[in-house]
Amino acid sequence: MKMLNLNEAAEFLHIHPTTLQGKAKSGEIPGAKPGRAWVFIEEDLVAWVRSRYRAPPPSKEQVDRVIANMRPRTRVQDTSTADELERLLAVGKKRRR
């Protein structure tokens, strides 16, 4: 297990030491300040960098499998007939003679 100080860890991550210090204070990057100086474990930094990798896009087979397992969506069926709808729409209208 290799321990790195703030400057070594910043160089390892290719970021500015002030940026690293802020990210370590906020808990975004794993580090500890047991006294006056920040300390970082190289393996923790490697794990943090690896956690930032993007996942590869799903393969066509994975997409097809998900689609095949999807349940068909059901629609709410309209129970009113056209006559009922006409009657409901005509409620506010007065017929002319």
Q: Which residue has the higher pLDDT, 73 or 6?
A: 6
Average pLDDT, integer, range 50-74: 81
pLDDT of residue 34: 95
Of 2-16, 17-31, 46-60, 73-87, minimum mean pLDDT range: 73-87
Q: Is the pLDDT of residue 88 over 80?
A: no
Tell me the CATH number of domain 3-51, given options 1.10.1660.10, 3.40.50.1700, 3.40.190.10, 3.30.70.1880: 1.10.1660.10
Decide: pTM greater than 0.75. no
- CA neighbours closer than 13 Å in the CB half-sphere of residue 19: 8
Nearest Cα neighbor of 44 from 58, 64, 61, 23 is 23
Place of tokens 């002319």: 96
User: What is the rounded average pLDDT for all residues in the chain?
Assistant: 85
Average pLDDT, integer, range 52-77: 77
pLDDT of residue 56: 82
